[in-house]
Copies of this chain bind each other. A is one copy, B any other.
Amino acid sequence: MMDHPFDQAMTLGVVGDPAEGRFEGLPSEYYWNMVGPYGGITAATVVKALMQHPQRLGEPIALTVNYAAALSLKPFTLTARPARTNRSTQHWTMEMTQHDDQGQPSVVLTATAVTAARRSTWRQIDHPMPTVPPPEQVEVARRAKGVAWLDRYEMRGIDGGLPAVWDGSGEHSRSLLWMRDTPARALDFLSLTSFADLFIPRVWVRRANRVPVGTVSMTVYFHVGPAELSAAGSDYVLGQAQAQAFHDGFFDQQGQIWSRAGHLLVTTHQIVYYKE
């Protein structure tokens, strides 16, 4: 049996001593976007390196990835270094490079992460899941054509989908949709990371104007452990995203991802370049 395309895309080879946290990989054509791979896949690859690192303590709590340049379809090197290890938390610094046209390593991504050994405590969800119809009653969303990565996901849009006409008629910047891997795949920290970047650009929704965009930095906070992941299984998750400010070339996006049962699995934020 072939691995799931997502797991194929996550394949990393260890370079040298595993304790040095040096990995090699190749961007996946299955998740290719217009220029470079889908950003959510690149972010998930960073988490994959963490999960493979022999010195990792606990599970991912926070991740920030900075997209410094579009990746090319050639090998990359990814280094992950535990900058500080405390009793129950660990701080990570990551960097991804590819060779430039002169054969020199060039930084294409920087990242930081926090992992931690969680303890059971008081719990509370203060951003409850909106009331929505179940995924089975929502149609598969219209989507852009000609990019591979969109075939890797099933998206059932409730609000704020791809505008039917690009006529500048947008009224708000909120999107709400059910999402799932195609084919379905059990949720883990890697797929949750990739889902965090799954929303179409807020500026397209807000303006119904397809201006050029590119995510510059994304942060993901995880509010799950193995029990919540196991309970969510390979079911649909509900994603919501909204912008707060568009200002002189950069807008923000805040997002939430809930399990069908209403557990808030992930909160996420990103800042995105836009032209015009």
Contact = CB atoms under 8 A, between A and B. Distances in A.
A118 B118 CA distance: 41
A252 B267 contact: yes
Nearest to A254: B254
Contacts of A11: none
Interface string A109-122: 01110101011111
Contacts of A273: 89, 116
A84 B62 contact: no
B110 A93 contact: yes
B84 A106 contact: yes
Given A124-B245, A223-B245, A267-B254, A216 B62 contact: yes
Interface in A201-248: 206-207, 216-217, 219, 221, 223-225, 242-248
Contacts of A274: 121
Given A112-B111, A173-B126, A245-B126, A83 B68 contact: yes
A69 interface: yes
A101 interface: no
Contact of A248 (B68, B89, B121, B267): B121
Copies of this protein in the assembly total: 2
A91 interface: yes
B244 A122 contact: no
A204 to B, nearest CB: 12
A28 interface: no
A137 interface: no
Interface residues of A, number: 62
Interface in A238-270: 242-250, 252, 254, 256, 264, 267, 269
Contacts of A95: 83, 93
Contact of A114 (B126, B216, B225, B242): B216
A110 B91 contact: yes
A-B pairs with the 4 shortest C-beta distances?
A127-B244, A68-B84, A223-B247, A223-B245
